Every structure is written in C-alpha cells, then in structure tokens.
C-alpha cells in the first residue's frame, strides 16, 4: 500500500518539484508608476533588495510615471502573467482612476500579491510658513479664496481627495497644483513654489525632523507612531481620513503557485528585522496583507470611492 500511494503521488511530485526549483529562473522587473525619489519609489527600491535575496534573482525597478499612475499601472496590467513582471500599486489611484475616466486597466487586471505600507496623509508647510495650524490656513483661505496653493501627486490622488474633503468641511477653496510624484511636490514646497504640500506622512517626515518642513496635521484614524506628536485632522475637528496603501501586484492570471511564492517573499521581507529597520529610517508604516485580504480591502475601497464620486466628483 505505501508503494502504491507513492506511485500515485509521483506525478504531482514531478510537477511540483521542478516548478519550485525553476521559478524564478530569470530577473524580475518591478514597475513603479510614480517618479524616482518619491515615497513609493524609495519603498520599492528598498523592498527589491530583499526580494532579490529571497527569490535568488535580480529585481530591476523601472519607473513609469505619468497620468496619476495610469501609465505604469497599464504597463503592469498588459505584462505577461508569468510572475517575472510585478509592480507597486497604490491606493487610491488603482481604484479611483477607472472610476473617474476610461483607463487602460481596471482592478480585475491585477492579482494582488501583498500589501506592505499603509501611510496616512498629512499637510506640510515650510518651517517659516505663516500657517502653524489648520485653523490659520482656514482663516487665510477665507480672506483670500483660491490664493493659497497646495501640491499633490495628481487629480484623484489620496493627497487631492484629502484636500477636497478638508475644503468641503472648512468651507474654503485652495489652489491646486498637481505634480507627477511626491518628490516634485516636496521640491516645489522647499522651493517656495507652493504654500502647502499634501503628502503622505513618510514623504515629508525626514525633512520635518531636519527642521526644513513642519507637519500641520496627519490624516490617519489615529496618530501614527512615526509622528506621534502631530494631531490628526479629526482631533482638529475635521473628519478627514486619507492615506495610501502601497503593495505588490502581478498581472491577472499569474499561476497560484507563483503568486504564493511571491507573497511569501514579500511577507518574509516585511517580517525581516533588517528590512523593518530600513523602513523605520524611511518612516514607513508597515502593514502586511496577504493576497486574499489585500484584494478584499481594495474591493471595499473601490466601493467607498464609487460612492464618493457619485456624490462629489473630483474633476477640476
């Protein structure tokens, strides 16, 4: 009987063994839909180094910025689903872009691998800015409607949606200046081209600690550990909860065994103390979700933003 069971299992073993041994047998490409130097790019390049060790193959980061992330997302969606092309996907862009316009991708074109970062939004100003609180921004905006400029990573980004929610609740209008990525927003803020940078906490906290920028408020449900002394918008009286989840995805149709291997590599990386130390240096709030949990959260977010679009379309 043991011999018979072994013979029956042999085909499965022959199929499973080479798959584990042979994949990946080539370098991987990681598509980043935003410009080099931004929060997503820095997280991607840090992650790539650890994935290389776990998968035993080089992971080449390729930036494809533009159109609020659509260029990079569309490239990832069209790639061969062999697991050799993976990419970072960001909320809300991955679900909001197809809501607001016809795009070359939809959520169903991707297979989520795992979420890595959950980074709340924030308002940043220069340290010598006249605005020291959200209340002072509101007072100035009421005195001069659409005169105070703010930068974001594009129309429909979490940065932009956060400001629109803040404007509605405060009864003010600011002047929107969209950029290709958070690095450009930060550069414009430091260069005094804009008055406020609407960015994720991790994208400006280093400069804040260096005394170059000041955070006026953060948009998490609670204060994040990397900026525990900064109040939330809710604490200031505004129900604004926004941020960006950043995780890995592959094109739809990737084999389940390959997906599980990729997800395991991501999970091991997030749990690696050395990676966690690097993430802490970048002030990245880590939150791992496996493929199924990640997909469920993305679907829920899409429902949330579809309802928001029906009530308050974010066209400018």
Residue 314 is predicted with a pLDDT of: 87
**Complete domains list, the chain, with CATH:** 20-119+243-311 (3.40.190.150), 120-227 (3.40.190.10)
Judge whether residue 205 has pLDDT over 70: yes
DSSP code of residue 103: -
Residue 21 is predicted with a pLDDT of: 53
The distance between the two most distant Cα atoms of the chain, rounded to a whole number of Å, is: 87
**Per-residue pLDDT reduced to its tens digit, 14-38:** 334 434 457 999 999 999 998 888 7
Across the range 218-224, mean pLDDT stands at 91
User: With DSSP H G I counted as helix, E B as strand and the rest as coil, what are the percentages for the chain, rounded to 5?
Assistant: 45, 20, 30
**What band does 111 get if pLDDT is binned at 50, 70 and 90?**
very high
Judge whether residue 12 has pLDDT over 60: no
The average confidence (pLDDT) of the chain is 90
Which residues sit opposite 125 in a β-bridge?
214
**Per-residue pLDDT reduced to its tens digit, 133-179:** 999 999 999 999 999 999 998 888 899 999 999 999 999 999 999 99
Report field, pTM of the whole predicted structure over 0.75: yes
Judge whether residue 11 has pLDDT over 90: no
Both tokens of residue 53?
Answer: 């060790």
Judge whether residue 68 has pLDDT over 90: no
Across the range 257-262, mean pLDDT stands at 97
Report residue 207: phi and psi, to 5°: -65, -30
Contact in structure between 151 and 175 (CB atoms under 8 Å): no
Contact in structure between 206 and 120 (CB atoms under 8 Å): no
**Per-residue pLDDT reduced to its tens digit, 129-144:** 999 999 999 999 999 9
Judge whether residue 88 has pLDDT over 80: yes
Judge whether residue 2 has pLDDT over 60: no
User: How many Å apart are CA 211 and CA 127, to the nearest integer?
Assistant: 7
**In degrees to the nearest 10, what's the CA dihedral of 175, 178, 181, 186?**
-30
Residue 242 is predicted with a pLDDT of: 94
Calculate ∠ Cα 212-218-222, nearest 5°: 140
**What band does 316 get if pLDDT is binned at 50, 70 and 90?**
low
Judge whether residue 10 has pLDDT over 60: no
% of the chain residues with pLDDT over 90: 75
Judge whether residue 103 has pLDDT over 50: yes
**Per-residue pLDDT reduced to its tens digit, 261-280:** 999 999 999 999 999 999 98
CA atoms within 13 A on the CB side of 105: 27
């Amino acid at each position: 009987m043991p011999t018979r069971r072994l013979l029956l299992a042999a085909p499965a073993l022959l199929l499973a063994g080479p798959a584990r041994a042979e994949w990946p047998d080539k370098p991987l490409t990681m598509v980043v839909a935003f410009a080099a130097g931004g929060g997503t790019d820095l997280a991607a390049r840090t992650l790539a180094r650890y994935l290389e060790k776990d998968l035993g193959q080089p992971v080449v980061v390729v930036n494809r910025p533009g159109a609020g992330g659509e260029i990079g997302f569309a490239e990832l969606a069209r790639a061969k689903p062999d697991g050799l092309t993976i990419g970072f996907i960001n909320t809300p862009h991955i679900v909001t872009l197809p809501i607001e316009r016809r795009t070359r991708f939809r959520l169903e074109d991707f297979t989520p691998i795992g979420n890595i970062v959950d980074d709340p939004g924030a308002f940043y100003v220069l340290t010598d800015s006249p605005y020291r609180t959200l209340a002072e921004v509101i007072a100035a905006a009421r005195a001069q409607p659409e005169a105070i400029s703010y930068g974001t990573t594009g129309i429909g980004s979490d940065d932009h949606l956060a400001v629109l929610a803040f404007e509605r609740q405060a009864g003010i209008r600011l002047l929107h200046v969209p950029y290709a990525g958070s690095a450009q927003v930060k550069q414009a803020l430091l260069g005094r081209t804009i008055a406020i940078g609407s960015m994720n906490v991790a994208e400006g906290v280093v400069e804040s600690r260096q005394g170059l920028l000041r955070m006026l408020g953060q948009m998490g449900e609670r204060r994040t550990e990397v900026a525990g002394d900064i109040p939330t918008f809710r604490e200031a009286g505004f129900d604004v909860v926004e941020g960006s989840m950043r995780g890995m995805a592959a094109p739809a149709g990737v084999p389940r065994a390959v997906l599980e291997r990729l997800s395991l590599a991501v999970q091991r990386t997030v749990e690696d103390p050395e990676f966690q130390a690097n993430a802490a240096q970048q002030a990245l709030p880590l939150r791992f979700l496996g493929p199924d949990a990640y997909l469920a959260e993305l679907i829920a977010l899409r429902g949330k933003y579809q309802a928001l679009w029906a009530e308050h379309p974010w066209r400018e």
